[in-house]
Structure 1
Amino acid sequence: MSVMSPRSPEKTPSAPSLLPALPRADRRGLRLGAEDRDVLWLYLLTRAALWTIAYGARWLFPADGGTHDPGPVLAPFERWDWGHFLNVARDGYFPAGQGPWDAEWDNREAFFPGFPLVLRAVHTVVPHWAAAGLLISFVAGGIAVIALVRIARLYLPDEGAGRRTVQLLLISPCAVFLAAGYSESLFLALALPAWLAAHRQNWALAAGLAALATTVRISGLFLAAALALQFVLAARTRAHWRPLPWLTLPVLPAGLYAWYLQAHTGDWMAWKHAQERGWYRHFHAPWETWSRTWESAFDRTLPTGYAFMFQAELLAMAVGLTLVVLLMRRRRWPEALYVGLSLWALGTSYWYQSIPRATLLWWPLWVAFAAWSLRSPRFRTAYYCLATPLSTLFALTFLTGRWAG
């Protein structure tokens, strides 16, 4: 059994060979099995661990070393991108006529509206904004890990494969972003069920979920491209091609958002231009981006904190490229396309930014790691020994306001 080859079900007339149906054990809808319950317990424990780190960070690493007040309980989670999500949810994209024409503009239109809309809705029930954001990620993360368990079962026949896959994700270096009020958990809660729906050949549901994922992150379009390729590889008869129009649905949210921004700014590319202004995401050749990131990481031209983050960016890019090569060797073209598009988008800017966080969205990576760990005790031990301290270090870096990636 290859690392990234789906399990082959019994052949039926309605199951195309390149898009296997789910195994019988995974056709149980919302019912939770023993492995699902174990995973949810693990999920709760890892959330408690991160909240414990956040509590300790307030007391041990305050901005003012002489303070006697550790600050608000949820303050460690109110960092970086959270401010943009909060501003959009609370004030909208262009409050009081402000916009990119103002010198002090915060470029908030660089963030898709899905998470802020959900945040605003939850805020009507949970008055504290940060608590509302954490609740969204908490619930969405629980949905995502259950979906990841079932995706792992598509590829790995091993007992406990789903549990192992989720373990590796939840202790990965950037796992803190699955607990913070960020968009990663919500995206996964939509994208992973969309992938499962595609494997059930429920293309309408897959496209609908991918469309919702696109409202949350631009990565939804990468998912839509992978779904389209999966569809093309699986279609064999005229009947198989009938759901094709559904696969255009994920493009609609991106188009509507571009139209909304054009109506307020006169710029159809306002989202991209906000990315360029705020995060230096101008297009550069991939080798130029690698070279500039390498220099930033090792030439001692930046403070050590920033240099360390650029080193993490380089490592994440190397992992991503290796994953794409592996997927292509296994002829897993849709998954390779999904990860490859993500790497292209993140690897052609002025320098690398947010690639370590993006690894959270590469579910083929965690399935591959699970396969290796189940077959090699040494790999499993090495991963746990390296990932656990890195996860703690990255969590502290984020929760104390020192994150730069």
Structure 2
Amino acid sequence: MTDQIVRPSVRLQADPAPETRPPQGRGRRLLHSDWARTFAVVLLFHGALTVLAVLFQGTLPEFHRDPNELSGLRPQLLLHTFRWDSVHYNGILNGRYTDPATPWTAAFYPVFPLAVGLVQTITFGKLGVLASGLIVNFTATWLAATALLRIARHFVRAPWAPWLAVSAFLTAPTAYFLHSFYSEATFCAIAFWAYLFALRRKWAWMGLCLIVATTTRLPSALFVLLCLLEFCRAHDWQPRRLLSWNLLWFPAAYIGFGCYALYLKLAVGDGLAMFHAYQYDEWPYQVTNPNIPQTIARELRTSATAVINAPVGNWALISHVIPIVGLGILLLAAWWMLRAHRGAGVPLAIFGIAAMVMFTLNSNVVSVHRFLLPCIVIYLAMATAAERGPRLRAAMGGLMATHTLLMAFLYCLFIMGIWSG
């Protein structure tokens, strides 16, 4: 029999025809819609991070960068969003893809800087780079939160549980990257909507989202896999039923990546420059090693040694201990979704395992806690577990509180210009 997705037990009545809706009813429905509520939550999220930066950055050591990199970045209120890889995304806006002095820029995919440039164009240059970036990130976070809310309703019954998934997403240890001049928010928005469309069996919309996703970040391959698995589940995993025109959306998803590769070929003569960028001195620890168990074992030893020989140094904590714990939570989430939802949880469980493999393929776990941010299986598992009983609900509340405190700590490091992932 076909596995059924768990849906809310209360079926909402259909809205009345537009001509029968009173004007005040229309406004009330809008205010109570998913879009309005997630807008308010996301506004609070970005507002809180901005206020925290303004309140505390004056008391923290000043972040120093090359003045040439900071010139022209306005307003100054948002300089706290500009750290580390932000330099590369800003460089793309200034033509660094073709600059022979910065060949590693090709590792950063173009959708986010293109979106920032589009906002600047629409506003006739009146908005600076940082303000345009915040508009892009706010909109993308809003889209991602709305998609996650609706995805969660496919897996949980309690009315509050989908909001717990959204809360878990916005309080993840590295959720502040949704606020920063990075591509995380853009990627989450596109990838989450692709999966939502797959759950709704809207394959064309799913395919279009995946095409854009593969031009946003390399982990888009994980969401192509997730949507493909959901496509297989929708057809009862029967090979004959899979043979339809909709199956072509999955190879077509890499059209976006192909367009980026073609651009790099024409611009710098290397269509795979996004991979070859890692051979430069920017990331000397990135060495491909398919022996995943060896990498995990080494990271566990390193983390254990760092904890035993406390106090733990900043590099050990940020680049070893926190990422390896994050991978453990990812695997637990994958196991829980499989246990709780059986067939409906298979795609998400495989997604979680595939993510662990991808994130450790380069023989290290540096920045893995940031890469885990789009891993939707974690938030769905937390929401699913929370509605199973008071004890699990308390445990998920404790985990979320721990994540929030950890995010505050990492965000302070980020503001100070100290490595945080």
TM-score interval for Structure 1 and Structure 2 normalised by the shorter chain: 0.7 to 0.9
Asked whether the equivalents of residues 136 and 181 of structure 1 are also in contact (C-alpha less than 8 Å), the reply is no
Give the paired residue count: 377
1:58 aligns with: 57
| Shift, 1:270, TM fit | 1.9
2:24 aligns with: none
Question: Within 5 Å, which residues of 2 pair with 1:107-186?
Answer: 107-124=104-121, 125=123, 126-186=126-186
Is the partner of 2:94 in helix, strand or coil? helix
Asked whether the equivalents of residues 339 and 362 of structure 1 are also in contact (C-alpha less than 8 Å), the reply is yes
Moved more, 242-251 or 75-84: 242-251
| Shift, 1:120, TM fit | 1.5
| Shift, 1:240, TM fit | 7.2
| Shift, 1:111, TM fit | 0.9
| Shift, 1:184, TM fit | 1.4
> Which amino acid counterpart does residue 45 of structure 2 have in structure 1?
T
Give the distance between the partners of 2:224 and 2:5, measured in 1 at CA.
Answer: 20
Give the distance between the partners of 1:286 and 1:382, measured in 2 at CA.
Answer: 30
Give the distance between the partners of 1:176 and 1:148, measured in 2 at CA.
Answer: 17
1:322 aligns with: 332
> Which amino acid counterpart does residue 111 of structure 1 have in structure 2?
F
Asked whether the equivalents of residues 85 and 116 of structure 1 are also in contact (C-alpha less than 8 Å), the reply is yes
Among 287, 294, 298, the residue aligned to 1:288: 294
Instruction: Call closer, same or farther: CA 1:5–1:106 in 2, change over 3 Å.
Output: farther
Instruction: Call closer, same or farther: CA 1:88–1:179 in 2, change over 3 Å.
Output: same
Asked whether the equivalents of residues 137 and 179 of structure 1 are also in contact (C-alpha less than 8 Å), the reply is yes
Question: Within 5 Å, which residues of 2 pair with 1:243-282?
Answer: 243-277=246-280, 278-279=282-283, 280-282=285-287
| Shift, 1:27, TM fit | 10
Asked whether the equivalents of residues 359 and 368 of structure 2 are also in contact (C-alpha less than 8 Å), the reply is yes
Instruction: Call closer, same or farther: CA 1:316–1:238 in 2, change over 3 Å.
Output: closer
Give the distance between the partners of 1:198 and 1:26, measured in 2 at CA.
Answer: 23
Instruction: Call closer, same or farther: CA 1:243–1:32 in 2, change over 3 Å.
Output: farther
Asked whether the equivalents of residues 169 and 373 of structure 2 are also in contact (C-alpha less than 8 Å), the reply is yes
1:340 aligns with: 353
**TM-score of the aligned structures, taking structure 1 as reference length:** 0.84
1:399 aligns with: 415
Give the distance between the partners of 2:104 and 2:156, measured in 1 at CA.
Answer: 43
> Which amino acid counterpart does residue 385 of structure 1 have in structure 2?
A
1:7 aligns with: 6
Give the distance between the partners of 2:14 and 2:167, measured in 1 at CA.
Answer: 19
Give the distance between the partners of 1:109 and 1:26, measured in 2 at CA.
Answer: 49
> Which amino acid counterpart does residue 75 of structure 1 have in structure 2?
L
Is the partner of 1:216 in helix, strand or coil? coil
1:328-363 alpha-carbon deviations (Å, 9 max, x no partner): 443423223333332212112131122211222111
1:11-36 alpha-carbon deviations (Å, 9 max, x no partner): xxxxxxxxxxxx767999xx857362
Asked whether the equivalents of residues 57 and 76 of structure 1 are also in contact (C-alpha less than 8 Å), the reply is no
Among 400, 404, 414, the residue aligned to 1:388: 404
| Shift, 1:63, TM fit | 2.6
1:131-168 alpha-carbon deviations (Å, 9 max, x no partner): 11111101110111111111111110101222221112
> Which amino acid counterpart does residue 34 of structure 1 have in structure 2?
H
2:69 aligns with: none
| Shift, 1:295, TM fit | 5.2
| Shift, 1:180, TM fit | 1.2
Asked whether the equivalents of residues 77 and 181 of structure 1 are also in contact (C-alpha less than 8 Å), the reply is yes
Asked whether the equivalents of residues 6 and 156 of structure 1 are also in contact (C-alpha less than 8 Å), the reply is no
Give the distance between the partners of 2:312 and 2:409, measured in 1 at CA.
Answer: 18
Q: Which runs of 5+ in 1 are unaligned?
A: 11-22, 66-70
- Kindly, what percent of the aligned residue pairs are identical? 26
1:357 aligns with: 370
RMSD of aligned Cα (Å): 3.1
1:276-331 alpha-carbon deviations (Å, 9 max, x no partner): 43333221221332244345545469981111102101111111222233344434
1:379 aligns with: 395
Give the distance between the partners of 2:108 and 2:361, measured in 1 at CA.
Answer: 19
Any runs of at least 4 consecutive aligned residues in structure 1 with deviations exceeding 4 A, and if so which? 23-28, 236-240, 298-303
Instruction: Call closer, same or farther: CA 1:128–1:336 in 2, change over 3 Å.
Output: same
1:33-81 alpha-carbon deviations (Å, 9 max, x no partner): 736233332222222211122112321102389xxxxx93222111011
> Which amino acid counterpart does residue 118 of structure 2 have in structure 1?
A
Question: Within 5 Å, which residues of 2 pair with 1:196-235?
Answer: 196-235=196-235
Is the partner of 2:57 in helix, strand or coil? helix
| Shift, 1:389, TM fit | 1.4
**TM-score of the aligned structures, taking structure 2 as reference length:** 0.81
Instruction: Call closer, same or farther: CA 1:265–1:282 in 2, change over 3 Å.
Output: farther
> Which amino acid counterpart does residue 325 of structure 2 have in structure 1?
L
Asked whether the equivalents of residues 89 and 116 of structure 1 are also in contact (C-alpha less than 8 Å), the reply is yes
Is the partner of 2:115 in helix, strand or coil? helix
> Which amino acid counterpart does residue 185 of structure 2 have in structure 1?
S
1:313 and 2:323 aligned: yes
